[in-house]
Amino acid sequence: MSHFRRIPALLAATTCLAGPVAAQEDDTLTIGLLVTLSGPSAVLGEMARDGFLLAAEEIGEIGGMKTQIIVVDDELKPDVATNKARELVQRNGADIVVGPIFSNIMGAVAKPVTDAGAILISPNAGPSTFAGTECHPNVFATSYQNDQMHEVMGAYAKAQGFDNVFLLAPNYQAGKDALAGFRHSYDGGVAGEIFTQLGQLDYSAELAQIAAMQPDAVFAFMPGGMGVNLVRQYRQAGLETIPFLSAFTVDESTLPAQQDAAIDFLGGSNWAPDLDTPENKAFVEAYEAKFNQVPAVYAMQAYDAAKLIDGAVRQAGGAADRDALLAALKEAPFTSVRGNFSFGPNNFPIQDFYLTKVIQREDGKYATSIVEKIFEDYQDSYVSDCAMN
């Protein structure tokens, strides 16, 4: 079911714009929201969509401009995403495209968006390439660089003295970044390393290997439906005595399905619903009241993306002067629900990171909860490769 229908006021009645130049001359701010809304990983895109539209509803006219938001499904297919991104900027005249969720899609859409002179703001995907050698003045992320959440868990594993960790991730760019990130801060032994097929839902073979090896811990990156199945099967296989460390595997997008199977499993994150800032408390309360579910990081980062756009467009005096808008975006003129937030030279965030664990709240809902801060004001390790540095 689409929550988008609940927020009809966001779509201003505007004529279709011919292209980016027309968008700049128009008094309407056009934003394309390009996220995954179908398939096993749709929940991630749905949360991002809902978080963005919640902020847009709170703001009203984003940047003080008449606002048109066009929501499209990238279907988690690079060729489909490329065509839809091109349509957003060329036919609909999008000034800004917010998306995507997955890194392989970001690799596909960045060029058509930026070649048209539009701005791409990722509310989730953070490939190492875009933080480093392929950084671009028109590409921003309100999320993280992909490695960083995993670096949290590597640092935790090292601090725990683990010396024989089994690594598991899907075979695509974010999966490779995940294991590279874990290794950035973990220098112990590796019991095994498996890259699974993207979208795989049966992990019996991998779990049999883990059971045979009996590693000190397992580190997994399995977002969406992949994580739901892995965690359930991990618990069913009786492996819970082996510490389960992860990122994007036990979070508010997967916990409604994982429930007790995920209790006390650990994760690395830049946020949790109980992060103690006034802005976060207001965001979580508003999101839960509207959608009757606990928000995940995808919703938070998209919510922040809308707030960032609002602040930057206001500071730039509109969206027509693209250079002024880019300069305003770099200054991050908004208050993140995370508290401290700024952009590094590569347009990726500098922020805090935390160890989290899964709990069941007093109201019966499942959520992640902050255990301790692992990194403070942390900049990704690829910024030195960025020519904008």
Domain containing 100: what range?
3-144+275-343
- Same domain membership, residue 214 and residue 237: yes
Domain assignment of residue 199, yes or no:
yes
- Same domain membership, residue 44 and residue 111: yes
Q: What is the pLDDT of residue 26?
A: 65
- Same domain membership, residue 367 and residue 225: yes
Q: pTM for this structure?
A: 0.90
Mean of per-residue pLDDT scores for the chain: 92
- Same domain membership, residue 261 and residue 180: yes
- Number of domains, the chain: 2
pLDDT digits (tens, 9 = 90+) for 322-340: 999 999 999 999 999 999 9
- Same domain membership, residue 318 and residue 363: no
Domain assignment of residue 137, yes or no:
yes
Confidence of residue 173 (pLDDT cuts 50, 70, 90): confident
**What residues are paired with 297 via a beta bridge?**
none
102 close to 125: Cβ distance less than 8 angstroms: yes
Q: What is the 3-state secondary structure (H, E, C) of 152-192?
A: HHHHHHHHCCCCEEEEEEECCHHHHHHHHHHHHHCCCEEEE
pLDDT digits (tens, 9 = 90+) for 231-240: 999 999 999 9
- Same domain membership, residue 185 and residue 221: yes
- Same domain membership, residue 310 and residue 179: no
Tokens of 65: 């401009």
Chain centroid to CA 63: 23
Q: Is 345 helix (H, G, I), strand (E, B) or coil?
A: coil
Ramachandran class of 296: left when φ > 0, alpha when ψ lies in -120 to 50, beta otherwise: beta
CATH number for position 212: 3.40.50.2300
Domain assignment of residue 67, yes or no:
yes
- Same domain membership, residue 192 and residue 264: yes
Domain assignment of residue 348, yes or no:
no
Q: Which amino acid is at 180?
A: A
Q: What is the DSSP letter of 334?
A: S
Domain assignment of residue 381, yes or no:
yes
- Same domain membership, residue 30 and residue 101: yes
Q: What is the mean pLDDT of residues 365-374?
A: 97
- Same domain membership, residue 232 and residue 359: yes
- Same domain membership, residue 316 and residue 235: no
Domain assignment of residue 296, yes or no:
yes
Percentage helix, strand, coil, to 5, in the chain? 45, 20, 35
| CB within 8 Å of 152: residues ≥ 6 apart | 185, 247, 268, 269, 353, 354, 355, 374, 375
Domain assignment of residue 175, yes or no:
yes
pLDDT digits (tens, 9 = 90+) for 14-57: 323 333 434 444 689 999 999 999 987 899 999 999 999 999 99
What backbone phi and psi angles, to 5 degrees, belong to 207? -70, -30
- Same domain membership, residue 36 and residue 121: yes
**What residues are paired with 206 via a beta bridge?**
none
Domain assignment of residue 62, yes or no:
yes
User: Nearest CA to 254 among 284, 203, 294?
Assistant: 294
